Structures are given as structure tokens and as C-alpha cells.
């Protein structure tokens, strides 16, 4: 039996969508794209349920998870909540880009033994995020 990854979507709360976009694109060397709100979820900008999203690149039919940056009154960024880990070839590379992108390294690359390596950073919004690699 093949075990599937249980996570299918991630939303990272932000206060400043443009600032967060610049941070993640710089650190991960990717391009985020605007994610249109489905017609059934559209509300006015002054509605408490209004939100804006920028999507990470991903394949919705592939294994693993993708997600978005989300600016919404329903979620607040900051440390102490869910910790999301991004895949990396060598997590030291992404960690080396964090400070220049406006973030802060919380934990440098460390060994997880047979499970590879990880490191943790703080983004420009105060969220703690992780990077994981096998080398």
C-alpha cells in the first residue's frame, strides 16, 4: 500500500501581500501568481470575509501540497502557529537568502539523521517557516 501525504493545501497569512511576495520569490527563486477568487466566494473589499491570494507554483493533481499567501482579516501572521516546511535540494541555500530578502534565520541547517536536514526562518510578516532537504 502506498501512503499518500495528508496535506493538500497551505495558506500562509500575511499583512502586506506585496512585501511577502517579494520575500518568497527571492528566497525560493519562484514566481507567485494571483489566484482569482471563485465566483461563489466573491465579496466586497469592505466585507470581513474578503481575501486576496497569491499562489505558489504547483500541480494540483500531483503528490504533495501547494498553497498561497493570503491577506485576510480571518487569519493573522505570526510565530507560534502552524509551521510549514518548503522542499529544497539543500536547505542551506534558501536559508542563505532569507536575511537579504528581509527575513531572519531562526535555526540554521541541522541534521535530522536519516530524515535529512532542516532549518527555520522568520518571513517579513512574522511567520516561522521551515526548509527541508535530504542533503
CB count within 10 Å of CB 108 equals: 13
Report whether 75 contacts 20 (CB < 8 A).
no
Across 86-113, average pLDDT? 96
The pLDDT assigned to 22 comes to 98
SS3 at position 100: helix
pTM: 0.88
Quote the CA–CA distance of 63 and 90 in Å, as a whole number.
Answer: 20
Half-sphere exposure of 97 (CA within 13 A, CB side): 15
pLDDT digits (tens, 9 = 90+) for 18-32: 999 999 999 999 999
Q: What is the pLDDT of residues 33-85, one digit of tens each?
A: 998 887 888 888 888 888 999 999 988 777 788 899 999 988 899 988 789 99
* pLDDT category of residue 1 using cuts at 50, 70 and 90: low
Amino acid at each position: 500500500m502506498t501512503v499518500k501525504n495528508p496535506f493538500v493545501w497551505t495558506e500562509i497569512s500575511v499583512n502586506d501581500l506585496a512585501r511577502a511576495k517579494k520575500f518568497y520569490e527571492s528566497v525560493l527563486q519562484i514566481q507567485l501568481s494571483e489566484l482569482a477568487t471563485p465566483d461563489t466566494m466573491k465579496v466586497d473589499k469592505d466585507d470581513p470575509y474578503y481575501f486576496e491570494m497569491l499562489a505558489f507554483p504547483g500541480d494540483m493533481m500531483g503528490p504533495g501540497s501547494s498553497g498561497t499567501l493570503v491577506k485576510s482579516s480571518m487569519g493573522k501572521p505570526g510565530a507560534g502557529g502552524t509551521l510549514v516546511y518548503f522542499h529544497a535540494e539543500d536547505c542551506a541555500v534558501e536559508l542563505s537568502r532569507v536575511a537579504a530578502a528581509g527575513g531572519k534565520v531562526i535555526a540554521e541547517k541541522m541534521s535530522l539523521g536519516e530524515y535529512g536536514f532542516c532549518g527555520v526562518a522568520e518571513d517579513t510578516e512574522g511567520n516561522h517557516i521551515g526548509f527541508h532537504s535530504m542533503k
